[in-house]
A and B are shown apart, each in its own frame.
Chain A
Amino acid sequence: MEKIKRYSKIIYILWLRQLKRYYRSRPRMIGSLAQPVLFLVALGFGFGPIYQKAGGGNYIQFIAPGIIAMSIIFTSMFTGLEVIYDRQFGFLKETLVAPVPRWTIMLGRTFGGATVATMQGIIVFFIALFIGFRPENIFTVPLAIIYMILIAVLFTAFGTAIASKMEDMQAFPLIINFLIMPLFFLSGALFPLNGLSKTIQTIIYANPLSYGVDGIRGVLSGQMHFAFQTDFLVLFVFATVFLALGSYLFSKAEV
């Protein structure tokens, strides 16, 4: 009992640190919103007419959940950069020598980063409202946040796991971009999953982000490919695995 109390305190203080840093860095907040907004406007309005003609309905309704997921995965994965940043500037040492299990440090960091990413997702949701997105049912919107949180935790843990093993500040963004792009493009964020070739479909089914996009879209736009329970279960399992993997790699980190 004592231990649980102590561990939650550690997780809390690291979570709080992450939020303070986010709150104090306005350029970062704005910078990470620019890309999703661009995608939303350019693709939403650009492909809109053709999507309608093909009988898909309103494209903004379709793509907005995908872009929300995109802003979350970007922010989440790049949280790992802070581990590398902290290593370069020395702060990582301060946490690594602390008399607490390193997994508590990893969890605190991850939940902090995931909270920030989820907030980004919610901001993108509001921006989408502004350019014409209408959720199916205003009362179920909070349900979508559950899926956002799951995506955020999953990919923050993933980013942190990679960062625990890397020292190079320049290589990290390159590698992360190299991972994010296929994860995003092959997740059904931009196009429906019906009638795709078998190969592409298999890849998309293996991508955890697909289930996150599907869950958010199911709640917000009422369009689904899988089912709510499937989405939840897959995301939950992946998130748990990556948290465990991240904790393990982080506990082996050296400076």
Chain B
Amino acid sequence: MKVTNLGEFEELVLLVIGALNDDAYSISIQQELREQTGRSPSIGAMHSALNRLENKGFINSHEGGATKERGGRRKRFYQITAAGKSALSKNHELRSGLIKLIPGMNTQTGLG
């Protein structure tokens, strides 16, 4: 898998993982997404995206943190990798570079 493109949804997920820092696992990512964007992806869609991200090398995962409501099953926690970070900033640069070219857009505000 040498595809290193980031899909729109993937990019969001990756951003949330970065934001959540050490507490990023599927359910918390899902909640954060809902709060930030109002989207509520299904568990299947979440894991599908997480798997893709992991295959592309943008995130790492480790298991742990079994809880009662999970029936004693472990969680899979995700961390953003260096490649993930650089992909995010590349995306960011691309967008901010492009947005400057649009007449009448204030580049100093908007994206932060």
Q: Do A and B interact with each other, yes or no? A: no
Chain B residues proximal to chain A, CB less than 8 Å: none
Chain A residues proximal to chain B, CB less than 8 Å: none
